[in-house]
Structure 1
């Protein structure tokens, strides 16, 4: 189920990034899109994937996980775009996909603590 929710979250991220890219620089659009979809992703993963309601402590820990993941993803995006002269839309998918395993492992640890 993690993959299904992750694909939904990636689609939401790409939609937000596509809209934001036209209003601001690509790095800012990436970070803002990541922040918006991180909140959405945390709620949907907790409820649908792990069948739990988020506590305040878990939400705070997930925010740290998502901030770490967003920082790594943004660094990777900027380095890919600047060094490879790649298309920002494609490179944002590459950056998000490359950092997804770390986000999965860390968020799973946070949300499975109660079990």
Structure 2
């Protein structure tokens, strides 16, 4: 709600009330319900009550732990530390219609080659 500067204070409060979960609704949740709290969180007006942090409903910790390993693998693949031994897929053959002479598209490149 930090980016709601254009809205009146009472409009922000009304919007916050509409999207915030209330602890009294906990009994109406399905058995396998989970909450994933976004960060950073507003501790003065949390969307998910702070009391839920210690309950089994809180799955943010699990998601963040799993995300750590996922990010490490993705970064390793991005920087070439993982996946070098994987087979490389061959590019499909280009059709004659799609072949474009780079000198036609970029006329300055022909003169700059020397």
Greater relative CO, 1 or 2 (CA 8 Å, sep 6+): 1
Question: What is the TM-score of this pair, normalised by structure 1?
Answer: 0.28
Question: What is the TM-score of this pair, normalised by structure 2?
Answer: 0.28
More helix per residue: 1 or 2? 1
**Which entry has the higher C-alpha Rg, 1 or 2?**
2
